[in-house]
Amino acid sequence: MTAPLSGKVALVTGASRGIGKGIALVLAEQGATVFVTGRTLNEGDYYLPGTVGGTAAECDERGKQSGGKGIAVACDHGDDAQVAALFETIEREAGRLDILVNSATHLPDNLLEPQPFWEKPLSDLQMWRVGARSYYTASWHAAKMMARQKSGLIVMISGYTGVTYTYGVVFGGTKALVDRMARDMAIELEPYGVAALSLWQGLTLTEKAQDNLARASDKMTSSVAGQAGSSVEHPGRVIAAMATDPQIMNRSGATYITAELADEYGIPDIDGRWVKSMRAKRGSPLWGPIRENDYHGK
């Protein structure tokens, strides 16, 4: 039996660990060739475990039955030249790109500190550089390939933070911008059969989240710390379902709550548990599918 994503090529940014890694593993398991990027080349380079090469190797292992595999590319998504080189590699080695998952995000060490924005350093704006601008840059390159082939899916990893105060001004602004970019990209990509959308994650039990919960749960926004949390692979399962959905263009332009899409597609978490939507507690997305709403400004 052919794997669901057999023959598909994906790029998952920021996949040394965390959500990006979880998504990459699922896509490879379902048959995709997955380019994974990250800055951590050797264990010990970062205080949490995980390397870009390690993720690629795990993708190979997970893809043994389906034909999926991982290809590691060291890349700082704040460096435009490195990003351009990354897409040159994808073009040369694969010749196409079917799925882009923008996940790489700079999270400053003071993210959980309660000071108001004017008492935090301006260097926190690095989150806009790698977390918003980097999403645009990767999407810019990906769109050139996808528009040419008249197909593709661009996913922005975002969160309820787009409408609900979480951790501070820069973090919230980053996610709100990501959601809006997906909406407007969808309008311009629609004639080419390429979908763009944003996914709201609730608490995802990444290595960093688990470390934060263990060390500083009292500093975390209460509505975040109070969630049950999902595995890092749960969003990957949803993205894989979207990538094989023949009606995916009907979803393009919208912001979705991952847990709600999982319910629609019939996808539990890896432990069989159904992840709960936090819509009632944390807020509702602003943007619906462009085919259902007059968002074109015409």
Tell me the per-residue pLDDT of 63-76, one tens digit each, with 9 for 90 and over: 999 999 999 999 99
pLDDT of amino acid 205: 65
Render pLDDT for 184-194 as a digit per residue (tens, 0 to 9): 999 999 999 99
Q: And the tokens for 34? A: 């997955």
**Where do we find the tokens 């999403």?**
135
Residue 206 has pLDDT above 90, yes or no: no
pLDDT, tens digit (0-9, with 9 covering 90-100), for 12-66: 999 998 999 999 999 999 999 999 999 988 887 777 777 999 999 999 999 999 9
**134, 104 contact by CB (below 8 A):** yes
Q: What is the mean pLDDT of residues 218-230?
A: 59
Domain contains 141: yes
pLDDT recorded at residue 114: 87
What's the CA gap between 294 and 275, in Å, rounded? 31
Query: Average pLDDT of 272-278?
Result: 94
User: Would residue 78 count as lying in a domain?
Assistant: yes
Residue 112, pLDDT score? 85
Question: What pLDDT was estimated at residue 257?
Answer: 97
pLDDT band, very low/low/confident/very high, at 298 (cuts 50, 70, 90): very low
Tell me how many domains the chain contains.
1
Q: What angle do CA 19, 213, 266 make, to 5 degrees?
A: 40
In a domain, 293, yes or no: no
| 263 in any annotated domain | yes
Average of pLDDT values for 204-222?
A: 56
Whether 157 shows a pLDDT value over 80: the answer reads: yes
Residue 228 lies in a domain: yes
Q: Is there a domain that residue 291 lies in?
A: no
Residue whose entry in the numeric block shows the structure tokens 């800055």: 39
Q: What is the pLDDT of residue 217?
A: 54
Q: How far apart are CA 21 and CA 52, in angstroms?
A: 9
> What is the reported pLDDT for 294?
64
Q: How many CB atoms lie within 10 A of CB 63?
A: 24
Domain ranges, residue 174: 9-282
Give the position of tokens 């050139």. 144
Give 103-150 pLDDT, tens digit per residue: 999 988 888 888 999 999 999 999 999 999 999 999 999 999 999 999
Tell me, yes or no, whether 123 lies in a domain: yes
Mean pLDDT of the chain: 91
Helix (H) or strand (E) holding 93: helix 80-93
Q: What global pTM score does this model have?
A: 0.92
Q: What is the mean pLDDT of residues 78-100?
A: 98
In a domain, 259, yes or no: yes
> pLDDT by residue (tens digit) across 241-262?
999 999 999 999 999 999 999 9
CATH code at position 84: 3.40.50.720
